């Protein structure tokens, strides 16, 4: 079997390089580079990607060995049908390790065709580090590295206004573009760089806030031999992902024109404000995950797919989404329902085993961010309490008892949260437990017992769950 590279695949490199990408991990290769590859095929984008390894340990050497080539395997459900697609990605021109050659890294800034910087360096990656004291050697942080590169570009092109870049971070933090810009300006000040450089950053570079959404499990080690037989190459960088993808970019018309994803039939949305889309994702996708976990787990289910296909758990989460979450959101009803149906299909994906217990990590804080806003907004708009979302809260409280039907539950949360529930579950009655949990302002930033009827409803649901446990033990 042939080793995958541009010679064996008969694929010459394209030019020019338009994108500088910080990060070579599974997500960027299975999401951003997949999108750019389709742009090259379906539009006049005609651009390649230069990858930069943002950490001292990475897989740039593997990309170099395969000359930037690898396959993306999409498996999932779309429109009720199982779908599978293998695509050879050819948009990566080269990969650079700045830890090995800092000078070569800075030289990337001299490319006159460069238009975009895209990144995914983990949520902690966009942060100012005062320990980075200058550019004489490679800065440790991602914004520090980027500041050094942008300053080199600024000097090389003598501050030309038309040599600014579009910066599109994909890190999962709110207002990621603004955070990246602020970090770069902090370095400019920290390093005493010229004031006209800071002005160039603010006036001639555009930092886009973004929202990304695609599950990318990564390298399919369980069946890689079958995949390699199918493609006919030794490809050690295959990336497995779900078919669903969404990229919302807060950007002006100039970015849309330079990155014509709307012409490629892709779910890339350029918007003036991505807040409604972030809220939709957090409330419907993440909120449904969090609401489902304790309810399904206490029913003996262990994966998202098992839960969504179970009659009782599946009905619970569908009604929670369509009857209690969607009514709290302000996007068009048709858009919300389509997104919700996409979410359900993603939950049903037979090619991804998503363990409920892995989603249960830090469930209390997740409930606060993902589900509680829907509870409060539903109450505000309807004057009623959302029964299923509060049934989930009751199940969450029982889940944190750490035991169900005589079996230990492997809880994973902060020591403070676990210690609280250990103390609280020493109370004798469900009412006392619920009151202690709901009135804990450290959890919710408010006293939930002050909402009329909420404590009574959660207590009733908790008692019903405890009764079902007793009856199951008797049987």
Average pLDDT, the chain: 96
Distance CA 471, CA 475 (A): 6
Sheet with strand 268-271: strands edge to edge: 209-213, 246-250, 268-271
Give me the pLDDT at residue 474, please: 67
339-377 b/e (C-beta count within 10 Å ≥ 16 → b): bbebbbbbbbbebbebebeebbeebbebbbebbbbbbbb
The answer for residues whose C-beta is within 8 angstroms of residue 341's C-beta and 6 or more apart is none
Give me the pLDDT at residue 470, please: 83
Distance CA 306, CA 107 (A): 51
Give me the pLDDT at residue 122, please: 72
Cα pseudo-dihedral 115, 121, 126, 132, rounded to 10: -100
Sheet with strand 116-119: strands edge to edge: 92-96, 48-52, 17-22, 116-119, 166-169, 206-207
Distance CA 422, CA 148 (A): 50
Give the helix, strand, coil percentages of the chain, each rounded to 5. 50, 15, 35
Instruction: Please provide the DSSP assignment of 162-220 as one string.
Output: GG--EEEE--SSTTHHHHHHHHHHHHHHHTT--HHHHHHHHHH-EEPEEEEE----B--
Of 231, 233, 232, 241, nearest to 65 by C-alpha is 233
Give me the pLDDT at residue 382, please: 97
Distance CA 474, CA 464 (A): 15
Give me the pLDDT at residue 12, please: 82
Question: Domain 285-474 belongs to what architecture?
Answer: Orthogonal Bundle (1.10)
- How many of the other CB atoms lie within 10 Å of CB of 384? 10
- How many of the other CB atoms lie within 10 Å of CB of 20? 23
Q: Which residues of the chain have pLDDT under 70?
A: 123, 474-475
Query: DSSP letter at 169?
Result: E
pTM above 0.85, yes or no: yes
Query: What is the torsional sign of CA 337, 339, 342, 344?
Result: negative
Asked whether the bond before 16 is cis by omega within 30 degrees of 0, the reply is yes
Q: Are strands 209-213 and 206-207 parallel, antiparallel or unpaired?
A: unpaired
Give me the pLDDT at residue 383, please: 97
Fold: same for 2-271 and 285-474: no
Distance CA 288, CA 342 (A): 12
Task: Return the bridge partners of 30, or none.
Answer: none
Give me the pLDDT at residue 475, please: 57
Give me the pLDDT at residue 472, please: 73
DSSP alpha helices (H): ranges in 400-453? 415-424, 430-438, 441-444
Instruction: Please provide the DSSP assignment of 19-60 as one string.
Output: EEEE--SHHHHHTHHHHHHHHHHHSS---EEEEE--SSS-SH
Question: Domain 2-271 belongs to what architecture?
Answer: 3-Layer(aba) Sandwich (3.40)
Domains of the chain, by residue range, sit at: 2-271, 285-474
CA atoms within 13 A on the CB side of 89: 31
SS3 for 407? strand
User: Token match 């006159």: residue?
Assistant: 112
């Amino acid at each position: 079997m042939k080793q995958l590279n541009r010679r064996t695949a008969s694929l010459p490199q394209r030019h020019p390089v338009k994108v500088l990408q910080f990060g070579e991990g599974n997500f960027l290769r299975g999401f951003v580079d997949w999108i750019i590859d389709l742009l090259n095929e379906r539009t006049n984008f005609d651009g390649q990607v230069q990858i930069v390894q943002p950490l001292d340990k990475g897989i740039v050497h593997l990309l170099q060995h395969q000359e930037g080539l690898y396959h993306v395997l999409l498996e999932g459900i779309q429109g009720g049908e199982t779908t599978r697609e293998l695509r050879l990605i050819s948009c990566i021109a080269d990969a650079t390790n700045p830890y090995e050659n800092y000078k070569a890294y800075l030289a990337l800034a001299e490319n006159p065709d460069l238009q975009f910087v895209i990144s995914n360096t983990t949520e902690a990656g966009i942060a100012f580090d005062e320990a980075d004291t200058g550019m004489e050697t490679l800065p440790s942080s991602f914004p520090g590295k980027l500041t050094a590169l942008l300053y080199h570009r600024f000097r090389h092109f003598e501050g030309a206004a038309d040599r600014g870049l579009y910066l599109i971070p994909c890190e999962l933090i709110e207002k990621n573009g603004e955070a990246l810009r602020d970090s770069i300006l902090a370095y400019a000040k920290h390093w005493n760089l010229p004031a006209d450089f800071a002005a160039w950053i603010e006036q001639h570079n555009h930092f886009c806030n973004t929202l990304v959404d695609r599950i990318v499990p990564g390298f399919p080690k369980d069946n890689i031999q079958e995949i390699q037989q199918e493609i006919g190459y030794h490809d050690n960088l295959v990336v497995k992902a779900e078919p669903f993808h969404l990229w919302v970019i807060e950007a002006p018309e100039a970015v849309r024109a330079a990155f014509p994803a709307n012409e490629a039939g892709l779910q890339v949305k350029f918007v003036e404000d991505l807040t409604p889309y972030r809220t939709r994702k957090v409330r419907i996708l993440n909120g449904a995950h969090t609401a489902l976990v304790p309810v399904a787990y206490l029913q003996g289910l262990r994966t998202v797919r098992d839960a969504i296909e179970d009659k009782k758990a599946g009905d619970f989460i569908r009604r929670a989404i369509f009857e209690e979450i969607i009514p709290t959101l302000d996007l068009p009803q048709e858009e919300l329902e389509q997104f919700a149906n996409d979410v359900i299909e993603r939950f049903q994906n037979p090619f991804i085993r998503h363990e409920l217990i892995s989603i249960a990590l830090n469930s209390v804080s997740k409930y606060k961010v993902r589900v509680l806003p829907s509870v409060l907004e539903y109450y505000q708009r309807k004057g009623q309490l959302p029964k299923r979302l509060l049934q989930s809260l009751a199940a969450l409280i029982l889940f944190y008892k750490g035991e169900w039907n005589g079996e230990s539950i492997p809880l994973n949360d902060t020591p403070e949260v676990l210690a609280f529930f250990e103390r609280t579950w020493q109370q004798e009655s469900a009412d006392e437990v619920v009151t202690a949990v709901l009135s804990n302002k450290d959890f919710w930033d408010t006293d939930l017992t002050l909402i009329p009827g909420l404590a009574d409803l959660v207590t009733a649901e908790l008692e019903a769950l405890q009764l079902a446990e007793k009856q199951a033990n008797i049987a």
